[in-house]
Amino acid sequence: MRAITAQLPGVPEVLVPTEVPLPTPGPGEVLVKVAAAGVNFIDTYLRSGVYRTPFPIFPGSEGAGLIEQLGDGTEEFSLGQPVAWANSLTGSYAEYALVAASQVLPLPPGLPLETAAALPLQGMTADYLTRSTYGVTRGTQAVIYAAAGGVGGLATQMALAAGARVIATVGTADKIATVEAFGVEPSDIIVLGAMSQLERQLPQAILERTNLAGADVIYDGIGQTTFRATLAALRPRGMAVLYGGASGQVEPFDPQELNAHGSLYLTRPKLGDYSRTRQELLDRAGRVLQAAVSGDLVVRIGQRFALTNAVEAHRAIESGLTQGKILLIPGATTWDTPNQ
């Protein structure tokens, strides 16, 4: 089968299509024919060496497809069953992926495989951020960065559905319409690309929209370039939720800064700590997948790339210009840029 590999950490060009043996599922494992693999920022962190891991690597954690083979002890599943996953054993940038049965997510009827591939990691991340890390409720003043992106767009919809007021940021003005379509008030959308002094202007913009009180919570997936602004824009005892580093990782800082800004809370969460049991995983995934089927959650596929164009997919996600989810399609021979 064909799979994407990286022999050494580096730029996107280290991702190379390679012929590898078809894996065989062992006990408690299933082999899935991949219909689509999700591309996420964590994939770029692993590829570039920001997150240290032994090389060579087979990238990609997330995807969806049809079960091809069953290992022993997987009787709850069936051949041909449509499933998704947030973690694979062999890498999801491939024509086939091994997935531990404990990580397999059965799909509700009516959910397209490409939509399912876009949801496990980003959808469950948005769910735990807005439901568990800081549970937004009616009246919460929540700031969500990159609200036209994958996690940001889903988190924005979830926060609004819970009754929160969302102050959303976008990188460029062409993304405003996307966020307005989610239900964010136009006056609550901040364009970061229009700011020449982000550390000063972003807190000012957030404080102006909260009558100088500051936000209850800020969901920051940008990291290095926004972190100081995040701390400055929170109310006393507000929470900074740093869940990613699209602009780079945050440098070490003095915890006394949290004190100086009003006894702030800071957390750096990850999905694995919010899906520690099989039941928690199924509950969180079930909410997200069912919301996509019902239409309560709009899932935007921003770009689709052929599996062999993984390099272009990583360039796209690192550009900061994308909207919605990026997918790799093993059966495709070209790539396109639809918006839906």
- CA–CA gap between residue 151 and residue 217 (Å, rounded): 16
Write down the pLDDT at residue 154. 97
- CA–CA gap between residue 176 and residue 35 (Å, rounded): 31
Residue 27: is it exposed, middle or buried by C-beta count within 10 angstroms (0-12/13-18/19+)?
exposed
Q: 306 has which bridge partners?
A: 329
Write down the pLDDT at residue 134. 98
- CA–CA gap between residue 208 and residue 21 (Å, rounded): 58
- Identify the H or E element spanning 284: helix 278-294
Domain definitions of the chain by residue range: 2-118+299-329, 122-272
- CA–CA gap between residue 78 and residue 324 (Å, rounded): 31
**Which 3 state secondary structure label does DSSP give 3?**
strand
- Given a contact cutoff of 8 angstroms between Cβ atoms, the answer to whether 111 and 49 are in contact is no
- CA–CA gap between residue 274 and residue 178 (Å, rounded): 28
Q: Which of 60, 52, 40, 38 is nearest to 8 (CA)?
A: 52
Instruction: Tell me the pLDDT of the chain (340 aa) as tens digits.
Output: 999 999 999 999 999 999 999 999 999 999 999 999 999 989 999 999 988 899 999 999 999 999 999 999 999 999 999 999 999 999 999 999 999 999 999 999 999 999 999 999 999 999 999 999 999 999 999 999 999 988 999 999 999 999 999 999 999 999 999 999 999 999 999 999 999 999 999 999 999 999 999 999 999 999 999 999 999 999 999 999 999 988 988 999 999 999 999 999 999 999 999 999 999 999 999 999 999 999 999 999 989 999 999 999 999 999 877 778 999 999 876 555 444 4
Give, in degrees to the nearest 5, the angle at Cα 157 between 242 and 207: 55
- CA–CA gap between residue 300 and residue 77 (Å, rounded): 29
Question: Which DSSP symbol is given to 133?
Answer: I
- CA–CA gap between residue 103 and residue 119 (Å, rounded): 14
Query: CA dihedral in degrees (288, 290, 295, 297; nearest 10)?
Result: 0
Please tell me the total number of residues recorded for the chain in this structure.
Answer: 340
What is the pTM (predicted TM-score) of this model? 0.92
**Which 3 state secondary structure label does DSSP give 269?**
coil
- CA–CA gap between residue 338 and residue 340 (Å, rounded): 6
Q: Which fold has domain 122-272?
A: Rossmann fold (3.40.50)
- CA–CA gap between residue 71 and residue 266 (Å, rounded): 42
Q: Which of 208, 206, 202 is nearest to 222 (CA)?
A: 202
- Identify the H or E element spanning 22: none
Give, in degrees to the nearest 5, the angle at Cα 130 between 126 and 218: 100
Q: Which fold has domain 2-118+299-329?
A: Quinone Oxidoreductase; Chain A, domain 1 (3.90.180)
